[in-house]
């Protein structure tokens, strides 16, 4: 299809632009060097799943399995970004966004023998070159969950060999794309890949065994560690890091048992990933929670995993209120009367601030941080050409305030990426849940800028005028 810029509908009205959004005058977010951008992921937006030599991924398989994804949705077309990328870049630029975080589809760029697929590589080269021409800072994630199905057929992340294949993939991409990428992230949210993919079956490949999850996590983190020196050799001017999703756990009461439960929640959600990266060891409490699930590893693995990071990407969405399960774990206790998003997640900005300041105290080698995802889903509709996403505007303003508070408490945070640039395939929830600051009509592929994006653009224009 043609890359038709007219598919973008500019809804910025004088009334909308008058609404409050900008941070207070003393906010660190006004700094010129604080990067503000938006993020996407390959399977969620690209479509074109069987074009130009792209191989099947685990999400192609999972989403076409009956009962796995809401309404039977798949990423076969998604936002058709593979064909509309030029107009999407123009839209990003029109909003004044300074950074763009995207991911590469591993099955699009390598064949089953590990050889490069030139048509797939050329797509990303064109995209990244255009972004650089437009002055956009580029953050590229190598793995945002779309593992090639042929690797899953050989065991996926339960197979140690997948970590070495990932290093080969990182080698190819960093050689081919060197100079067009400002920051490389090896993995996006290994907690989701390991636990949702192998621990409870909610995500691809759909396995459900906690012992599988801990082994998959080890191989994911090993893959990260093996890729880091490759990236440093091939593209020395870029930053290198990893992206982790974090969760705030709070106790349902002040009892010792409930406070322990909240601690264990954060151990399995946060320390399971951050301790190996920043301390070189898994947290012992993890195996109190999940006894007998210690992963198999080789001597030297943890030294590989804990290679120094240039940055740590942090994704945050909600908190979980928990109580003791009466044994050695925790159970969710949803609070009543709290604000929630379309996902059912509680809106809790203080959790982001508290986790960030806590990490600064816990990890003395904490690298600079980028908030690589933050946002919310709402049931957005276009009415008279406009999308008035009031809850998202409030959500973003409060979470940016939490980021500012963490910066003022001494946490080095260098930027913030909205999740997401546009509505897209929301994994097991299909197309029902809308996270974008740009609305997508999936039947026509028309993009409509939401009011939240208008106000972010207004803030960025004001900030640019100040400096």
223: Cβ contacts below 8 Å, ≥ 6 apart: 143, 162, 163, 166, 167, 186, 187
- As given in the structure block, the two tokens for residue 14 are 């004088």
Residue 307 CB neighbours (<10 A): 17
Q: Is residue 30 part of a domain?
A: yes
420: Cβ contacts below 8 Å, ≥ 6 apart: 38, 39, 40, 44, 373, 375, 435, 436, 437
**Is the Cβ–Cβ distance between 359 and 365 less than 8 Å?**
no
Q: Tell me, what's the pLDDT at 22?
A: 83
pTM for the predicted model, two decimal places: 0.95
Q: Tell me, what's the pLDDT at 15?
A: 38
Counting every residue written for the chain, the total comes to 467
Q: Is residue 306 part of a domain?
A: yes
Q: Is residue 360 part of a domain?
A: yes
364: Cβ contacts below 8 Å, ≥ 6 apart: none
* CATH code of residue 345: 3.20.20.80
Rg (C-alpha) for the chain, rounded Å, is 21
Q: Is residue 193 part of a domain?
A: yes
Q: What is the pLDDT along the chain (467 residues), one digit of tens a residue?
A: 333 333 344 433 433 444 467 889 999 999 999 999 999 999 999 999 999 999 999 999 999 999 999 999 999 999 999 999 999 999 999 999 999 999 999 999 999 999 999 999 999 999 999 999 999 999 999 999 999 999 999 999 999 999 999 999 999 999 999 999 999 999 999 999 999 999 999 999 999 999 999 999 999 999 999 999 999 999 999 999 999 999 999 999 999 999 999 999 999 999 999 999 999 999 999 999 999 999 999 999 999 999 999 999 999 999 999 999 999 899 999 999 999 999 999 999 999 999 999 999 999 999 999 999 999 999 999 999 999 999 999 999 999 999 999 999 999 999 999 999 999 999 999 999 999 999 999 999 999 999 999 999 999 999 999 87
Instruction: Mark whether 98 is an active-site residue.
Output: no
Strand-strand pairing, 183-188 and 330-332:
unpaired
Instruction: Report how many domains make up the chain.
Output: 1
- CA angle at residue 426 from 204 to 189, to 5 degrees? 60
Q: Tell me, what's the pLDDT at 89?
A: 98
Q: Tell me, what's the pLDDT at 331?
A: 97
Please choose, from the candidates 373, 375, 387, 377, the residue with its C-alpha nearest in 3D space to the C-alpha of residue 446: 387
Q: Is residue 10 part of a domain?
A: no
Q: What is the span of the domain harbouring residue 405?
A: 16-466
**Is the Cβ–Cβ distance between 151 and 213 less than 8 Å?**
no
Check 46, 98, 152, 373 and give the catalytic one. 373
Lookup result for tokens 């990067």 = 35
On the CB side of 168, CA atoms within 13 Å amount to 14
Q: Which CA distances in Å does 19 have to 22, 460, 462? A: 9, 15, 14
- As given in the structure block, the two tokens for residue 19 are 């609404």
Q: Is residue 9 part of a domain?
A: no
Q: Tell me, what's the pLDDT at 20?
A: 61
Q: Tell me, what's the pLDDT at 249?
A: 98
Contacts within 8 Å (CB) and 24+ apart, 83-86:
83/1, 83/2, 83/3, 83/47, 83/48, 84/1, 84/3, 84/4, 84/7, 84/445, 85/3, 85/123, 85/126, 85/127, 85/130, 86/3, 86/5, 86/130
Q: Tell me, what's the pLDDT at 8?
A: 40
Q: Is residue 6 part of a domain?
A: no
| Angstrom distance (rounded) from CA 430 to CA 343 | 12
Q: Is residue 365 part of a domain?
A: yes
């Amino acid at each position: 299809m043609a890359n038709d810029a007219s598919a973008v509908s500019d809804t910025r009205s004088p009334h909308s632009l008058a609404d409050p959004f900008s941070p207070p005058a003393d906010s660190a977010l006004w700094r010129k060097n604080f990067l503000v951008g938006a993020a996407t992921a390959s399977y969620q937006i690209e479509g074109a799943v069987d074009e130009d030599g792209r191989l099947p991924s685990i999400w192609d398989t999972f989403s076409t399995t009956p009962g796995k994804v809401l309404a039977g949705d798949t990423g076969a077309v998604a936002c058709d970004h593979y064909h509309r990328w030029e107009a999407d870049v123009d839209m990003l630029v029109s909003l004044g966004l300074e950074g763009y975080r995207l991911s590469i589809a591993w099955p699009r760029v390598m064949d089953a023998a590990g050889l490069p697929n030139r048509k797939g590589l050329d797509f990303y080269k064109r995209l990244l070159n255009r972004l650089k021409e437009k002055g956009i800072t580029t953050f590229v994630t190598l793995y945002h969950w779309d593992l090639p199905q042929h690797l899953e057929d050989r065991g996926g992340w339960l197979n140690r060999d997948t970590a070495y294949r990932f290093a080969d993939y990182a080698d190819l991409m960093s050689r081919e794309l060197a100079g067009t990428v400002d920051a490389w992230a090896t993995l996006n949210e290994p907690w989701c890949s390991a636990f949702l993919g192998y621990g409870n079956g909610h995500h691809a490949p759909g396995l459900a065994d906690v012992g599988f999850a801990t082994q998959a996590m080890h191989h994911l983190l090993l893959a990260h560690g093996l890729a880091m020196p490759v990236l440093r050799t091939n593209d020395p001017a870029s930053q290198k890091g990893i992206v982790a999703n974090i969760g705030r756990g709070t106790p349902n009461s002040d009892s010792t048992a409930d406070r322990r439960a909240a601690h264990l929640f954060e151990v399995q959600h946060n320390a399971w990933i951050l301790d190996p990266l920043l301390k070189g060891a898994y947290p012992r409490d993890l195996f109190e929670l999940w006894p007998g699930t210690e992963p198999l590893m080789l001597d030297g693995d943890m030294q590989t995993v804990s290679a120094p990071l240039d940055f740590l990407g942090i994704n945050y969405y909600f908190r979980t209120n928990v109580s003791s399960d009466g044994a050695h774990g925790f159970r969710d206790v949803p609070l009543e009367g709290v604000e929630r998003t379309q996902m059912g997640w509680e809106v809790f900005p203080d959790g982001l601030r508290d986790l960030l300041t806590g990490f600064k105290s816990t990890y003395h080698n904490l690298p600079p941080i980028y908030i690589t995802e933050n946002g919310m889903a709402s049931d957005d509709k276009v009415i008279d050409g406009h999308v008035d996403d009031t809850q998202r505007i409030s959500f973003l303003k409060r979470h940016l305030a939490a980021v500012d508070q963490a910066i003022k408490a001494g946490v080095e945070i260098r930027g913030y990426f909205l999740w997401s640039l546009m509505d897209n395939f929301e994994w097991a929830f299909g197309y029902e849940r809308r996270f974008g600051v740009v609305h997508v009509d999936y039947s026509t592929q028309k993009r409509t800028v939401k009011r939240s994006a208008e106000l972010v653009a207004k803030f960025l224009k004001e900030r640019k005028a100040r400096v």
